[in-house]
Amino acid sequence: MSSIALLGFDDTESERLAAGLGALESSLNLRKFTPDTSKEELASNVEGALIWGSGTGLAGPSGIAHAAADAGVPVVVVLQTVSLEGIEATRQEIEVCFLPCSPEEVRIRLDLAMARNAPEEKQNNIVHGDLVIDLDRYEVTLRGRKVDLTYKEYELLKYLSSNPGRVFSRESLLRSVWEYDYFGGTRTVDVHIRRLRSKIDDVSNNFIETQWNVGYRFRSLGEPT
């Protein structure tokens, strides 16, 4: 649920708009604040703000809008006349609606402002050129195409690619990837490496390199073949 500050909503028309918005989107927690609320208080209490321009007094809505935007709070300003009244609508934190406007339009404007200011989600991926290992989805893609791997093949690839350039002995890989759940000794590693290579290596890619008499390593990005 998103908490949205209502600033200047103190007359019948503004109350009607707020009621319509609340009925339209139950996930919004609409909270009234006074126009002189500090930007620090807004930043710590809400995810967005709606400003009813005519309810902001002689100071007007521009100062409040910019203060909220400066605090990183997305803002929708509802104005009675087609005039920005000192509001820099080019700022990505600020959207403007002119009356008459519907709750649906205000909601869309609010979504736009909030989407532009949402923090970017960090992708939990290991990327080596065309090879992408999605650690959250347990998926591997090569040039955008999904590679079908068994669970142990995936775990082996993830372990090696997390330590590019480092050489691992077969015994070390057995302890780290298979732990105690394996049969067949070090031969198991060789079989899985061979199967893994058949799925991700081609004429332009050689991701896993054999270190003779030692084990295997994942080639570092940009390393010559």
pLDDT, tens digit (0-9, with 9 covering 90-100), for 179-224: 765 556 778 899 999 999 999 987 677 899 999 888 999 987 656 5
The conformation of residue 55, written as its DSSP 8-state character, comes to G
Angle (CA) 134-137-139 rounded to 5° is 55
Above 70 in pLDDT, residue 167?
yes
Question: Can you tell me the mean pLDDT for 113-133?
Answer: 80
Question: Can you tell me the mean pLDDT for 86-97?
Answer: 81
- Give CA separation, 199 vs 53, 76, 127, 176, 215, in Å: 61, 51, 17, 22, 19
106 and 115 Cβ atoms separated by less than 8 Å = no
Percent of the chain whose pLDDT exceeds 90 = 24
pLDDT, tens digit (0-9, with 9 covering 90-100), for 136-151: 889 999 988 899 999 9
Q: What DSSP string describes 91-106?
A: STTEEEEESS--HHHH
What domains lie within the chain, and their CATH numbers? Answer: 2-116 (3.40.50.10350), 125-218 (1.10.10.10)
Q: Determine which helix (DSSP H) or strand (DSSP E) holds 195, and give its type and residue range.
A: helix 187-200
Mean pLDDT of all residues belonging to the chain: 85
Distance, C-alpha 190 to centroid of its chain:
38
With H, G, I as helix, E, B as strand and everything else as coil, classify residue 26.
Answer: coil
Distance, C-alpha 117 to centroid of its chain:
11
